[in-house]
């Protein structure tokens, strides 16, 4: 049975998120579902479709029996880094680690689907099954970018994807308050290429690069609450535990803690306020604890203990705070219009650019617009998100002898979904 489940999940990952990323803060999506993304990810207190359980399981108690099915076309660009010319005149310093120039990753169009099925069990309880991609990282440089360290193959890059399957149970405590819990099963897929020069710095040099795809399995839980205060104001809170994942054994010499790569915990607090019967304002505050996962949080400004060790190089990612604000306008009985903006704190500090050329997750500001056209029992939703280009630069002291540069990324995402209410 376990072997069958793993086979099914591998097929789903291959279809759904192979090589994918999505409009992200770090690698966490800005939102889940087309309606939520039209509000730049805000809406923990505004349940509207089955995918709300991915943000707040309590919201499922307010959804009628329905199916939601959609997909996003995601295009990151520009996505890459620039290495400046080496200017230190000291001949005893090491040469520039990366030949000067600008490097842009290939693979610039990805398809990312989602699905939710919602079924009320009685007047107060609802079951929702939701499937979706939880971000990812992908780079594919056609050069051997670290060849100055030693012999290296090309292309250089990583392919990291996640898929989650949630089983949400939502319950109305009374007419104004609901709670929910969602156990989550998750799978991750990863491969790395072109990192041969780092093998000599690893405690497991045979498990650093060019090992093909490896899979990691695990899970956790998300819980939520939603409360109605008067006729206009809703307040909600949701939190997801750390998702404890099995190690990437094929890459135990690359990631800290011998291949450990858990999903960090996150929490959201937000509101929805009806300014009038047609206009609703939503706002969320989200925190993601990337610093809890050493493979993500360990700095790459100094080598301590060797790659793959507990203190081995990571991406230098910090915990981040995200503010999301959106507005929804019921333009007509059949047409809803949306817009939103989100802004996050800086993911990593200047200097942590070495590993982040593999995952230049630099965007901080996302702008979104969206709409839903209701043709009962069918509905169609559309959302577009633009992640504003952001550059993070500085001097990386590791192996570089003072070479400067920066990493950058911008993003476009267009998502379309279909809903059917029974």
Q: What SS3 state is found at 81?
A: strand
The radius of gyration of the chain's CA atoms, rounded to the nearest angstrom, is: 22
Residue 176: count other Cβ atoms within 10 Å of its Cβ.
Answer: 12
Give the CB-side neighbour count of residue 249, counting CA atoms within 13 A: 3
Comparing CA positions, the residue from 207, 206, 187, 194 lying closest to residue 255 is 207
Map out the domains of the chain as residue ranges.
Answer: 2-421
Residue 398: count other Cβ atoms within 10 Å of its Cβ.
Answer: 18
Comparing CA positions, the residue from 285, 270, 192 lying closest to residue 235 is 270
Q: Cα angle vertex 53, ends 48, 56, to 5°?
A: 95
Tokens of 227: 């409360």
d(CA 38, CA 53): 16
Instruction: Give the architecture (CATH level 2) of 2-421.
Output: Beta Barrel (2.40)
d(CA 324, CA 269): 10
d(CA 77, CA 94): 32
pLDDT at residue number 375: 95
Tokens of 303: 């080598």
pLDDT at residue number 271: 98
d(CA 7, CA 13): 10
pLDDT at residue number 11: 41
Q: What SS3 state is found at 357?
A: helix
Comparing CA positions, the residue from 35, 53, 282, 33 lying closest to residue 171 is 53
Q: What SS3 state is found at 112?
A: strand
Largest CA-CA distance found in the chain, in angstroms, rounded:
77
Tokens of 197: 């020069």
d(CA 243, CA 218): 7
d(CA 29, CA 159): 17
d(CA 295, CA 310): 9
Please, where are the H alpha helices in 17-123?
34-37
Contact 225, 259 (CB under 8 A): no
Residue 75: count other Cβ atoms within 10 Å of its Cβ.
Answer: 14
Tally the residues of the chain: 422
Comparing CA positions, the residue from 147, 155, 185 lying closest to residue 168 is 185
pLDDT at residue number 97: 65
pLDDT at residue number 60: 98
Instruction: Report the run of H or E that residue 28 belongs to, with start and end.
Output: strand 28-29
Render each residue's pLDDT in the chain as its tens digit; 422 residues.
445 444 434 444 443 433 344 567 778 888 999 999 999 999 999 999 999 999 999 999 999 999 999 999 988 877 888 877 765 555 555 555 677 778 888 777 788 899 999 999 999 999 999 999 865 678 888 888 878 777 888 889 888 889 999 999 999 999 999 999 999 999 999 999 999 988 988 999 999 999 999 999 999 999 999 999 999 999 999 999 999 999 999 999 999 999 999 999 999 999 999 999 999 999 999 999 999 999 989 987 777 788 999 998 888 889 999 999 999 999 999 999 999 999 999 888 766 666 777 777 788 999 999 999 999 999 999 999 999 988 877 665 555 456 677 888 888 999 999 999 99
Contact 40, 324 (CB under 8 A): yes
Q: Output the pTM of the full model.
A: 0.89
């Amino acid at each position: 049975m376990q072997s069958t489940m793993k086979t099914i999940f591998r097929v789903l990952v291959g279809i759904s998120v192979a090589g994918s990323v999505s409009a992200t803060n770090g690698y966490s999506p800005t939102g889940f579902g087309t309606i939520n993304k039209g509000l730049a990810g805000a809406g923990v207190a505004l349940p509207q479709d089955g995918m709300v359980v991915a943000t707040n399981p309590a919201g499922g108690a307010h959804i009628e029996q329905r199916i939601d099915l959609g997909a996003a076309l995601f295009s990151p660009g520009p996505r890459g880094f620039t290495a400046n010319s080496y200017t230190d005149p000291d001949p005893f310093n090491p040469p520039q680690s990366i030949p000067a120039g600008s490097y842009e990753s290939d693979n610039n169009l990805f398809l990312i689907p989602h699905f939710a099925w919602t079924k009320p069990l009685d007047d107060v309880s609802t079951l929702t099954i939701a499937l979706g991609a939880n971000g990812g990282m992908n780079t594919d440089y056609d050069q051997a970018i670290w060849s100055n360290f030693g012999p290296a193959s090309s292309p250089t890059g990583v392919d990291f994807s996640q898929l989650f399957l949630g089983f949400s149970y939502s319950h109305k405590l009374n007419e104004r308050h609901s709670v929910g819990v969602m156990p989550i099963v998750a799978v991750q897929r990863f491969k790395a290429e072109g990192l041969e020069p780092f093998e000599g710095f690893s405690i497991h040099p045979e498990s650093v690069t060019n090992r093909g795809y490896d899979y990691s399995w695990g899970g956790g839980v998300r819980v939520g609450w939603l409360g109605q205060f008067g006729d206009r104001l809703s307040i909600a809170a949701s939190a997801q535990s750390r998702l404890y994942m099995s190690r990437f054994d094929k890459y135990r010499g690359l990631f800290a803690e011998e291949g450990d790569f858990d999903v960090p915990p996150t929490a959201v607090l937000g509101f929805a306020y009806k300014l009038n019967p047609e206009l609703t304002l939503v706002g969320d505050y989200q925190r993601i604890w990337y610093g809890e996962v050493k493979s993500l949080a360990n700095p790459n400004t100094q080598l301590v203990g060797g790659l793959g060790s507990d203190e081995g190089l990571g991406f230098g990612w910090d915990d981040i705070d995200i503010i999301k604000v959106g507005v929804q306008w019921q333009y007509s009985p059949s047409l809803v219009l949306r817009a939103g903006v989100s802004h996050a704190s800086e993911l990593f500090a200047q200097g942590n650019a070495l590993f982040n050329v593999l995952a230049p997750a630099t965007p901080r500001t996302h702008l979104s617009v969206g709409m839903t056209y209701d043709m009962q029992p069918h509905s169609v939703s559309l959302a577009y998100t633009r992640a504003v280009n952001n550059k993070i630069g500085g001097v990386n002291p590791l192996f570089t002898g003072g070479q400067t540069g920066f990493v950058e990324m911008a993003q476009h995402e267009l998502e379309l979904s279909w809903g059917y209410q029974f």
